[in-house]
Structure 1
Amino acid sequence: MTTLESDGGGSTLISPNLDGLKRARTIKADIENNISVLKSKNKTNLLRRRVEDDPENQLIKTLRQEHRMDWGAIANYLNEERQKRGEPACFTTPAVYSRFVRNGPRIAAALGEIGFDPKDYMHLRNPKQYLAANTNLGSSIPQKRAREETDCEKGIKDNTRKRSKLADDCAELETTEKTELLMQAVATVERNFWIFVADELERMTTKLYDPRAIESRYHAI
């Protein structure tokens, strides 16, 4: 692959591909020089949002389970909402299906739903027909949607975990039992690190990459 080009005047230009690779390597160097997850910090860390707390994941479950929309219609609706926010509209039918199957049970558990099984909603006999991507899909959703969303939001609020005081947490984590459990939790996260990266990359691209491919590419940069 050619990465250097001449402009005809004796100077050498860097191609866009090399420029992007250079930025990628810079990011990698920053990561390796600052493993922030395991280093002591003075600033408060921002925790990665759980998949069950992701609004798009919640909406996918609601549109499929409550409104019985087909996968393509859900993808169209999500893409329209992303366009309104100025975000890339790159949802596909397989991506929507994948998110529902993987994240639906976790959302249901967070909401206290009992007996939720994504298999019950994989193939609907008579899915409702909704307008395509370039149509105002908001008017296609039943009028009871607003009331149902209010109930859903109330359920989420009621199930929100209450955070204890920092001093109490620090004191409790100093016990031998909790210290051991903390280290086990860190070890679990470390073992699943590339799976978490794959989840974040899917959120950005709507495609779920194999964690092994992501790890291989990272070390190859």
Structure 2
Amino acid sequence: MNVLPLLLLVAGSAAVAGGARRTPVPAPLLLVAAGLAVSYVPGVPEYTLDPDVVLPLVLPPLLYTAAADSSYLDLRAQMRPVALLSVGYVLFATFLTFTMVIGTLVVQGLTLPLLIRVLGLPGRDPQAETLAEANAQAQASRAAEQHLDALLDDERNALPPPLADRLRTVLERRRNAVWERLGSVNPVTGETVDDTYRRLSREMIGTEREVFVRLRNHRYIDDEMLRTLLRRLDLEEAAAYRETA
């Protein structure tokens, strides 16, 4: 790495800061002006200062020099504008940020639905979304069923016909579940056929759970077997709730 240009830059900065002592212009302003002028000189390389070096090594000496050159009498005489700039500006910036956040979250959040209605923008179509979901699920289920047939053709994946049919039933049930949401609604409960099916399934699971607990209380099964049976029911119930969501 060629450090000569960097040394020349540091020397030039020190010369500008030393010359500022003989002028009424503050040194930081002269340094900024000199830096802008040098940046337009052709051939001057670009430098990127590492913050981990600037903060512990460069900034403390600069702050100490500025504090040593400052006048307590001048600071006391200018206490009011200094306090307004240091405290008042922070409070103003905090208030401005808070106002912008409230305006963005509350005002826009409350007025956006009204604006959509006024402009007549189309809203979400649940029927179209359900139809798109049903088409996607149908394609995925068909692909999964073809993959299942390919797996079952392998002797290593041989299953009894009832178990293989159960896997196909799961795919068929998942494929038909979305289409059933497009069907008719029960005029009494307002549920679709799929919603009624899931509700009845959960009620059946609840009945089985009560029976298992009663058998444990009468010492027909032990606690370990009860936990195994309840865990199986919990998984089935969680699956039912997940499909409903």
TM over 0.5: no
Q: Which one has a larger percent helix, Structure 1 or Structure 2?
A: 2
Q: TM-score range by the shorter chain?
A: under 0.3
TM (normalized to structure 2)?
0.20
| Greater relative contact order, per chain length (Cα 8 Å cut-off, separation 6+) | 1
TM (normalized to structure 1)?
0.22
